[in-house]
Amino acid sequence: MEKGRTNKNHDKESNQSKDHLPKEIEEIIKYIPEEKKAEVLKTIASFSVKTASSFSGPLPPPSILSEYNDIIINGAERIMKMAENQSSHRIELEKHAIKEELRQSKNGQYFGFILAILGMIIALFLAYLGHEIVAGIFGTTTIVGLVTVFVIGKKRQDKEV
């Protein structure tokens, strides 16, 4: 009785493995005697090889890309269009970012120049009123502060490049 259960379980396993076989192998197995089928299926299973592939980037390799046409109408063309749109979008964002950085840099230089002139005018005015020590401190800190900002900014730019 236990032997019957084993055979039923064994038959069930061989039927399950048959369900996952390619049609070519199913055609060949039809001609194999029942008592040898399990052994043959076991041998076939031991020789089966799984392959995996991967890719990086916006587009799959051409072999995979062509398979999208089998699944979706114009699938490969749609994927290519999506990659082109993404690339165009990225280029536009980079153009905008560069223009904005240049504008901010230019504005910073203008405001820095205005502050330097204003600081020097205040220092000269203080010196004119007879406050030479305060004028010297004010003028010196203004110049040292601006030089520091430009030197640090230049070092930071060099590191980014």
**Distance from C-alpha of 59 to C-alpha of 66, rounded to nearest angstrom:** 11
**Distance from C-alpha of 76 to C-alpha of 6, rounded to nearest angstrom:** 50
Sketch the domain layout of the chain as residue ranges: 10-50
Contact between residue 146 and residue 115 where contact means Cβ atoms under 8 Å apart = yes
Of 18-22, 29-33, 100-104, least confident by mean pLDDT is 18-22
User: DSSP H helical segments within 48-74, as ranges?
Assistant: 62-71
The answer on pLDDT for 1 being more than 50 is no
Secondary-structure percent of the chain, ordered helix, strand, coil, rounded to 5: 80, 0, 20
The DSSP code for 97 is H
Give the residue-averaged pLDDT of 119-128. 91
**Distance from C-alpha of 41 to C-alpha of 18, rounded to nearest angstrom:** 8
Residues 70-111 pLDDT 10s: 888 888 899 899 989 999 999 999 999 999 999 988 888 888
